[in-house]
Every structure is written in structure tokens, then in C-alpha cells.
Amino acid sequence: MDARWTRWQARRMRALKINALTLSAILVFGGCAQSASQARGLKPGDIQVVAQWLLPSGGSSPGPVDAVKSAAMMQRYFKAERAIEKESGGAYFEDGNDVGGGAFNVYLYTDKVDATVAQLIALEHQGKIAAGLRIGVAQYTDAQRKDWTYKAYYPAGLTRFDITYLQVPPSAAAKQGR
């Protein structure tokens, strides 16, 4: 039995090595092709546009019961980010995401804000990205574009936009006079 176990271990190790080499090749060579978004890059004068989805329960760490549901939800948002990148057509630069503080944000830079927003809305309506999209556009307060606030852009009726929406516990809100 020891000889069979040793042969099985050897076959298993060979299979693991092949899988590791295949994965490495995919990561190395698959990453060589640039998307239109990456090829465009960041340009002087670009304006930041944020595609956002609010997370349930203020985006805090899910409990064990919610872990599967949260994983599926996050997969939808990461899939949306990939679709946004893929569909850019060079109109904007997709600069990554952040998650937490009650929101999942995808950061875009463009010199064509209205066209970028229209494309994001179309992607949502076509079902290529998750429903519940919110869009904010940076409004720079200095010439160097180092300081900004966000203008709520979409959906209609959205009056406030920020990249975080931390929920303040009622007891803390009372102390802060909220």
C-alpha cells in the first residue's frame, strides 16, 4: 500500500506543478494584452468619475450567515468592474476599485464626462453591470486637482454622493447631535 500511496502522491505533485505552471503562464502572458482603458491611460485634464454600488448593512464585515450571499454580491461588483474596463473603447481610463465604508467604487478618468456617464448607464440598462449603479463626478477645488468634492450625477434625484457611507450607531449620532 505504501508503494501505491507514493505513486499517487507523485502523480498528484506532477498535476499540481502542471496547474501551477499553467496558472503562471495565464497570469504572465494573459496579462500582456492591454485593454483599451489601459492603453488610453491617465491624461492631463482628466476628470474622475466614480461608478458606485452601495453595500448592504453599511458595508461592514458580514457575519457567518451572510458570507455566501456577500461573496456572490462581491462577484457581481467585480464582474461589473471588468465589464466597465472591457467596454471602455478608450473613452476613459479605469483606475481600479475600493470596497468598504458602505460602498463598492470603481474609479474612472475621462475628458468626456457626459459620454462616460451615458456609457455606464447603458451598461446598467443592458444588464452588463450590476443594477443599483450610482455615479459621482469630481468637482476640483484647486488648479492642481489635489482637492475635490463629488457632484451626484446619477440616478436622477440623487442629491449626495461620496465614496464612503459609514453608518453611525444611534448612540454615537445622539452624542454628535445628529
Interval 52-75: pLDDT, tens: 999 876 444 444 445 556 778 888
pLDDT above 60: residue 42: yes
Q: 56: cis peptide before it, omega within 30°? A: no
pLDDT above 90: residue 153: yes
CA gap 161, 47 in Å, rounded: 16
Determine the pLDDT at residue 39: 77
C-alpha torsion angle, residues 107, 109, 114, 117 (rounded to 10)? -20
Predicted model pTM: 0.70
